[in-house]
Amino acid sequence: MAKIGSIVGSNAKIEMTPFKQLYVEVPFDRRDLIQEELERAGLEVYPAGFLTKSLIACNFCKGAEDAGLETARKLNQAIAGIETPTPLKIGYAGCALGTSEPLLKDIGVVKMKDMFDIYIGGEPKGLKTAIAQKLVSGLTEDRLVPVIRKIIDFYIANAKGKEKFRKFVERVSLEQLQQITQS
């Protein structure tokens, strides 16, 4: 935290989200320089706005190897920062306990032994909260990123304006989304 403070300066505004991510507001004319310095310090920097957010993952209570920390890192690298019609939250849990609450995210991944299940359409806020529905189960690790990218790409190509992901899932149907993940 001290390193971040020294890089962004005393006039920057920093906010920690409930997902343990930091939003940093800095002067526009210093943005690129600050980003480079943060990345040199080993931090991941993503833009704000209508895009996929960095992966919201559990704390890996069973250990990095068992819970799939390396898989979560690969998934994050593949999905974070993609422009989308509305902000897209993707969660990852290394076991069925789901401490990262993946079933409340737009797209949730749950590791079950050596396989992965994908859920879609969770909504944690408002009066119309919803638990995500299982889209596909039993995916191998090598299929995880391609399937998630297909879902995101299909959403980008077929959303109506700034249609939220949950509404998109309801409109196009779980069955249609299952079909695109199999191609």
Predicted confidence at residue 19, as pLDDT, reads: 58
107-112 and 115-120 strand pairing: antiparallel
**Architecture, CATH, for domain 56-182:** 2-Layer Sandwich (3.30)
Q: Are 128 and 28 in contact (CB under 8 A)?
A: no
Predicted confidence at residue 66, as pLDDT, reads: 63
Query: Helical H runs in 18-162?
Result: 31-40, 64-67, 69-79, 141-158
pTM: 0.82
Greater model confidence, 62 or 35: 35
Region 88-100: mean pLDDT is 88
92 closest CA partner among 139, 153, 156: 139
- Which sequence spans correspond to the domains of the chain? 2-40, 56-182
